[in-house]
Structure 1
């Protein structure tokens, strides 16, 4: 451990690793949406087929959230996340070779399903790491950094991967993304450590994290561990505050999955853009989403530092952003490509601005079960990962148009606003013994 008197800032190095890991995560998720317009035509997949292929990831991702959370609480984020990254990247790579199998569609579904299983601990691991490494008044910013990875993946890598298709073929989208993930997974295992085991951190930084509400001891031998019963899990699922947060996350994830699945196809088919133009056009809303995510997280932390309550500081960006995301419906009333891109950019900026669900989870989950709580939260949220691509696929199949699909996505913002305003209530940290209707509060952490 570093013994210098000046407070170290190792937490920002770890934040860089967290952001890069989430970037790799979402590049792998985005590969199919980038390849889909060309891949589906070459392999003869219908809109409904692609809906099922897009949803395969969501089925596995949702079903494995709770088991993934249990693994995180038992073995820690460093090991579980690193190994998971290598495994999901292997399945990403294999998607580029589905044409070699007797049924390309079946193997695509299987590989996407297995990739979803392997990625299930990713976001809960980041949430858990943010509690270990950051005090409360920096956690909104930390969360915004790793939660903006989807926007960077879309904004920077969609044009790059689209260009790869024009140079080579859709197969190399999967090959290149898979290799990137495998290499970074090895780097993660080599360099990432928990706070108490990192050689460069000093006592001053540990005290700063701890006194600010962070839990650097999380998962260490010094932390007193408590057995978790299924009744306590049920209490977390049934708590009114958490139910409202789950609904809000479902709505946000629905918007995310539209952009990560059908958006390039929407631009290609509905707006008649070429693959190169699709890559460039899809990047603009993603950049707006990145900016929105950073601004929303910084605003939330600023309000907290100014003495506003945790509830007001977290809810204000969420409610305002979700309300503004409804503007996506305007795209149905114009054929102007620049206006469509502007509307999509505004909606994605708003989605990023409101994307503080994981920060809320870090603020409110029982400190004894942050991995499990993250798994439960992501399970409910990622039902959208199944429903969104399927619903949109069937809408297109039935109507031949994206109009009702855009209305469906726009309505998610309004539902999320209603949930946070009328269901969530006051944000408080739960204990494992919290009753379903009235959250018990950990007094020490609540005061902090």
Structure 2
């Protein structure tokens, strides 16, 4: 059924998710844009910078399961809106730590990055929960790809701007600008997001299209459950081979994402000899490639579903193909020209985007009653890479004096993700919750 006949309200919902996710990832990557200038200004080494990069990830991982549980227990719109306000305020506050002594600046940045990770934790489970409510199965991969592609679009939109801000005004101003963007989105969020049942502009045809296609329809919470039952739900998720394979695959594939969000601009400045502004513009190449790959992979997956292919083929084919291409990042070790490096990075991030269907798999396979909890667990596993990747890359660079081993590490993670989806993840189908 065409979008014209069914209505377009659901597309405004995914557009809002795209905007919020773009600002979220801009907040995450703000430290990478400021990283080289911050390192020079404070006189810290690569390993210390790696720990600052990882600070977000420590809290983000710890808070994922509680964050996902919040969406199963409380109103999704309200929880997400509060999280958006908090992470915007915390990002804004990072712009003022430069007035402190150096030791305090490092400690304050680390603690504020931890707090940003706590505040941002519910957001991706929230995206999955909202998409599961608003989109039928035949459109879910595309909707997930659109919202997920914001992680690449954020770099394309903000990296040149932030590079200019750092070079012109100093690294502290990056956080003030991004915090201001977040505050503006808080008001837009309150006006835009509603559940399908309560949206003032949805028509009967669009509501029926969502309902008949398997949309969950509500953003309101389930009845409260006690702690023993919550632990039982968690155990059921961890005992499913399919879900464990999806969770592990997300961790492995996220090594590429967190290299882009943390060390990539530093790599361009220190290894390739670019200026901060040139690095900001160069970061647009893999970002746009990832954006194009994400949309292409999502649309291909949904097209395969509409043509009658199984969910297993429709979801796994883009993932396996994309993560195989993502391993091309390791070939940067063997080329000398900046143009060749950017071409390989573009190909690698196109592949990473093409295979970014993990959240679609969460919506396809998780028990209906605990999509938020499953999403939180999925993001906990996946964002362990936010801790390990910056630290391991920092260690390898510090020990070897170059990025060669670091690039090989990222490429190896992509190949292991391919094996995980081929050998561990089984048939893609919804798992039923047991009493």
TM-score interval for Structure 1 and Structure 2 normalised by the shorter chain: over 0.9
- Could you report, residue by residue, the CA deviation over 1:376-424 in whole angstroms, capped at 9, with x for unpaired residues? 1100111111000000011111111110000000001110010000000
Q: CA deviation at 1:127?
A: 0.5
Structure 2, unmatched stretches of 5+, are: none
- Contact residue 236 and residue 432 of structure 1 kept, 8 A: no
The whole-number CA distance in structure 1 between the counterparts of 2:432 and 2:318 is 26
Instruction: State the match for 1:441 in structure 2.
Output: none
Instruction: State the match for 1:145 in structure 2.
Output: 146
Q: Say which SS state the counterpart of residue 197 (structure 2) adopts.
A: helix
- Contact residue 136 and residue 215 of structure 2 kept, 8 A: yes
1:333-412 pair list within 5 angstroms: 333-412=334-413
1:172-187 pair list within 5 angstroms: 172-187=173-188
The whole-number CA distance in structure 1 between the counterparts of 2:76 and 2:257 is 24
Instruction: State the match for 1:292 in structure 2.
Output: 293
- Could you report, residue by residue, the CA deviation over 1:156-187 in whole angstroms, capped at 9, with x for unpaired residues? 21001101122211111110001110111122
- Contact residue 195 and residue 217 of structure 2 kept, 8 A: yes
Q: Say which SS state the counterpart of residue 25 (structure 2) adopts.
A: helix
- Structure 2 residue 412 is the aligned partner of structure 1 residue 416: no
The whole-number CA distance in structure 1 between the counterparts of 2:285 and 2:152 is 9
- Could you report, residue by residue, the CA deviation over 1:62-107 in whole angstroms, capped at 9, with x for unpaired residues? 0000111111112232111111011001111111222223411100
Structure 1 stretch displaced more, 366-375 or 178-187: 178-187
- Contact residue 73 and residue 224 of structure 2 kept, 8 A: no
- Contact residue 245 and residue 357 of structure 1 kept, 8 A: yes
- Structure 2 residue 51 is the aligned partner of structure 1 residue 45: no
Q: Give the TM-score normalised by structure 2.
A: 0.96
- Structure 2 residue 282 is the aligned partner of structure 1 residue 309: no
The whole-number CA distance in structure 1 between the counterparts of 2:362 and 2:106 is 37
1:89-238 pair list within 5 angstroms: 89-102=88-101, 103-219=104-220, 228-238=229-239
- Contact residue 136 and residue 212 of structure 2 kept, 8 A: yes
- Structure 2 residue 67 is the aligned partner of structure 1 residue 65: no
Note closer, same or farther for the CA distance 1:388–1:175 as it changes in structure 2 (3 Å cut): same
Q: CA deviation at 1:224?
A: 7.0
Structure 1 stretch displaced more, 96-105 or 198-207: 96-105
- Could you report, residue by residue, the CA deviation over 1:189-244 in whole angstroms, capped at 9, with x for unpaired residues? 23311111110012221111010011103536xx7777643122112012111111
- Contact residue 13 and residue 192 of structure 2 kept, 8 A: no
Q: Say which SS state the counterpart of residue 96 (structure 1) adopts.
A: helix
- Contact residue 88 and residue 178 of structure 2 kept, 8 A: yes
Q: Which runs of 4+ in 1 moved over 2 A?
A: 5-8, 217-220, 223-229
Instruction: State the match for 1:21 in structure 2.
Output: 20
- RMSD of equivalent CA atoms: 1.5
Q: Give the TM-score normalised by structure 1.
A: 0.93
Instruction: State the match for 2:75 in structure 1.
Output: 76
The whole-number CA distance in structure 2 between the counterparts of 1:404 and 1:238 is 35
Instruction: State the match for 1:11 in structure 2.
Output: 10
Note closer, same or farther for the CA distance 1:331–1:233 as it changes in structure 2 (3 Å cut): same
- Could you report, residue by residue, the CA deviation over 1:354-384 in whole angstroms, capped at 9, with x for unpaired residues? 0000001100001001111100110011111
The whole-number CA distance in structure 1 between the counterparts of 2:5 and 2:356 is 34
- Contact residue 93 and residue 176 of structure 2 kept, 8 A: yes
Q: Say which SS state the counterpart of residue 216 (structure 2) adopts.
A: coil
The whole-number CA distance in structure 2 between the counterparts of 1:265 and 1:272 is 10
Instruction: State the match for 1:442 in structure 2.
Output: none
- Could you report, residue by residue, the CA deviation over 1:291-319 in whole angstroms, capped at 9, with x for unpaired residues? 00000000000000000000000000000
- Contact residue 322 and residue 414 of structure 1 kept, 8 A: yes
- Contact residue 34 and residue 264 of structure 1 kept, 8 A: yes
The whole-number CA distance in structure 1 between the counterparts of 2:30 and 2:246 is 29
Q: Say which SS state the counterpart of residue 424 (structure 2) adopts.
A: helix
The whole-number CA distance in structure 2 between the counterparts of 1:332 and 1:174 is 33
Q: Say which SS state the counterpart of residue 268 (structure 2) adopts.
A: helix
The whole-number CA distance in structure 1 between the counterparts of 2:219 and 2:160 is 40
The whole-number CA distance in structure 1 between the counterparts of 2:189 and 2:265 is 31
The whole-number CA distance in structure 2 between the counterparts of 1:6 and 1:244 is 38
Q: Say which SS state the counterpart of residue 321 (structure 1) adopts.
A: helix
